[in-house]
């Protein structure tokens, strides 16, 4: 078992908040601008809230994860939702052996 450098690895972007037009477009725009490839998107409505999850690849990203988090948070406040990005290992380690 080894831990890969986050720069070369996959991230999970989570969006939580009231549903509205343009959320996916907004998040995808931030990712595209920074050359981050979206691998998978899934979403559900939890207690009238939108929960959306994107798995993305930061291999060729122009920015690091900390900067991406800031940009996503800014986009989130613009859209009225909470957006965060975390390294995929935080989830993989917990749910997969």
Residues that bind other proteins (CB under 8 A): 1, 3, 6, 12, 14, 16, 40, 42-44, 46, 51, 53, 55, 65-66, 69, 84, 86-96
The DSSP output letter for 2 is -
Minimal distance, residue 35 CB to other proteins, in Å: 19
The helix (H) or strand (E) run that includes residue 28 is helix 23-33
Decide whether 25 or 46 has the Cβ nearer to other proteins: 46
Minimal distance, residue 47 CB to other proteins, in Å: 11
> Measured between alpha carbons, how far is residue 34 from residues 3, 9, 60, 67, 71 in Å?
24, 15, 9, 10, 10
């Amino acid at each position: 078992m080894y831990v890969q450098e986050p720069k070369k690895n996959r991230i999970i972007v989570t969006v939580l908040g009231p549903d509205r037009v343009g959320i996916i477009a907004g998040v995808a725009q931030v990712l595209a601008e920074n050359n981050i490839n979206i691998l998978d998107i899934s979403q559900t409505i939890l207690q009238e809230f939108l929960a959306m999850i994107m798995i993305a690849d930061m291999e060729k990203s122009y920015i690091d994860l900390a900067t991406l988090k800031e940009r996503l948070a800014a986009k989130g406040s613009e859209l009225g939702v909470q957006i965060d990005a975390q390294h995929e290992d935080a989830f993989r380690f917990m749910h997969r052996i």
